[in-house]
Every structure is written in structure tokens, then in C-alpha cells.
Amino acid sequence: MFNVRQRHPSSFIFHQNPPTALTKRIRVICRMKIIKNFLAPIRKMTVKTAKIYWEVENIDKRIGEMIKQLETWGIADETLFIFIGSDNGASGGAEIHNAGLYKGKGQPYQGGTRVPAFFRWPGGGIKGGSESAALISQTDIMPTLLELTGTPMTDQLKQQVEGRSLVPLLNNPAADWEKRILVHHVGGWEPGEAAQSKHARVSIQNERFTLVNNEELYDLSTDPGETKNVIAEHPKVVNQLRKTYDKWWIRMQPGLVNEDAYEPPAK
């Protein structure tokens, strides 16, 4: 990690770790750690599962090192540290604990849309150990950073941004939070098949319910694992979620150029 003090007193660092980011050397180290820490002591552990546990352990260690370095520079308390687990849920293929959530990556269920997010900023008023149950989205990150930096959004930008600032929740996890409905649509259909894909791999969620693929409704307050379809019991909720999604689909359709683009005919 470079010294942010040497670059600018108000530096911004963005780091992402895609699955293909590991170098050959790191992969060798990873293999050695997996054998020592997981495969050897736990006989039933598979290599695929062990890799995931090692990755969790490694991330935890590296974040600790970053925080320690910030403390060495004397800027840990004034630095806003944000960690977001992924843009999707757990990957499939490995038998690991997923907090009881159903399905995973590439699926519109909670196991594929719900991810962890951590914020650390002692000097900014965030108290350690606090937790919020508010319904938030990764689209809320940009409005949050804009407000924290005192950067106003133009009227045009306000019309394009779906997210809202998380500053009230950062100051008080129990703050009043306006009700909202979030749409999770897993794209990737064949050219020209947008209409057929409208209700495929999609969930429309409010604070309590989630409507999946237009035919399944789950009460997350009592059934976070999405085991019981209660669509027949809440027709008003279903109607509201469907109407919201129809409006979202119409608004978003022109921008889905990569999903519904026709390829030129072969010559």
C-alpha cells in the first residue's frame, strides 16, 4: 500500500479483487495455506470448499493489515473505510455455510442478492459494533460519498441516480428510513428476447417481502430462507410490487443496450 499522505491529504482509494486477480505465486501460497490450515485438520473438507475458507481468512488478515497501516500513518480515525462483499451472493459449487439463504450467484433469491457491507469511520461518528437493518443498495454508495464530501448533485444526475445517501444511517443505525422497493434483475438474454426475459431471474423487494420471477412471494420477516411461497395470501403486496417493476422495466429498457442488441446479419 502506498502512503496516501504523500499523494494528497484527501486521497481516495478504490480497490477491487476480481476472481482472476491472483498471480501464479499467490496461487501457490494459497494452495500451501489450504493444505496446512484446512485440508490436513479437517478430513472431509474438499479443495474447492477449503479455497473459499482460505479466501475469507486472507481477506480478514489483509483488512487488518490495512487498518494497522492507516494507524501507523495516524489517519485511521479520519479515514472512511468501506468494504462490500461482492456484487452478488455466494458462488455455487461448494458446500459452505450461506447464513441459511437460498441459492447464490446469478439467482434472484436472497442468497444471490444479499451481500455484506461494512463501514468504518471512527472520526466521522460511526460507532463500532453498530448494525442497521435498513434496506440499502450498492447504488446508495455514490450519493453517500457525494454528501460526505459536500458535492451537490445536479438535477440531471438526481433523475439518473436510484440510490440515496446513507449518511443518516451512518450517524444513527436506527434513524428513520423511507420505505423503498428494490429491483434485482439478472441480465444476460439472447438478442431480441427482452420481452421473454422480463420475469426471468428477477426479484422485487421491499422491507418485508420479495417477489421472485413474478410467481413466488416470500415473507422475509419470518422466512429469510425463502422456503414458503405466500403469493396467494398477499394479493395487494403482489400487485404493488408488480406495478413498481413494470414502471422500472419501461424506464430501464432503453438503457439495456448490451442485453437486447441485434447482431448484424452474417454476410
- State the pLDDT at residue 146: 92
- State the pLDDT at residue 262: 47
Nearest to 133 by CA among 92, 81, 169, 95: 169
Average pLDDT, 10 consecutive residues per value, the chain (267 residues): 49 59 52 58 67 80 92 92 79 69 89 90 87 92 92 87 92 93 85 80 96 98 97 98 95 68 49
Q: Is the domain of 191 the same as that of 149?
A: no
Q: Is the domain of 169 the same as that of 183?
A: no
- Of 121, 156, 175, the position where a domain reaches its end is 175
Amino acid of residue 5: R
Q: Is the domain of 193 the same as that of 228?
A: yes
Q: Is the domain of 148 the same as that of 200?
A: no
- Of 148, 175, 202, the position where a domain reaches its end is 175
Q: Is the domain of 169 the same as that of 185?
A: no
Do the domain assignments include residue 148? yes
Do the domain assignments include residue 108? no
Do the domain assignments include residue 87? no
Do the domain assignments include residue 10? no
- Asked if 238 and 253 count as a contact pair (C-beta separation under 8 A), the reply is no
Residue in the structure block whose three cell numbers are 494452495: 31
Do the domain assignments include residue 212? yes
Q: What is the DSSP string of the chain?
A: ---HHHH-TT--------TT---HHHHHHHHHHHIIIIITT-TT--HHHHHHHHHHHHHHHHHHHHHHHHHHHT-TTT--EEEE--SS---SSS----TT----TTSSSHHHH---EEEE-GGGTPPTT--------GGGHHHHHHHHTT-PPPHHHHHH------HHHHH-TTS------EEEE-----TT-HHHHTTSSEEEE-SSEEEETTTEEEETTT-TT--S--GGG-HHHHHHHHHHHHHHHHHHGGG-TTTSPPPPPP-
The total of structural domains in the chain comes to: 2
| CATH code where residue 227 lies | 3.30.1120.10
- State the pLDDT at residue 42: 56
Do the domain assignments include residue 15? no
List Cβ<8 Å contacts ≥24 apart for 146-155: 148/80, 148/124
Range of the domain at 247: 179-253
- State the pLDDT at residue 206: 97
- State the pLDDT at residue 11: 63
Q: Is the domain of 159 the same as that of 196?
A: no
d(CA 101, CA 89): 9
d(CA 72, CA 68): 6
Q: Is the domain of 171 the same as that of 225?
A: no
pTM for this entry: 0.79
Q: Is the domain of 225 the same as that of 161?
A: no
Do the domain assignments include residue 227? yes
- State the pLDDT at residue 105: 84
- Of 147, 175, 203, the position where a domain reaches its end is 175
Q: Is the domain of 183 the same as that of 213?
A: yes
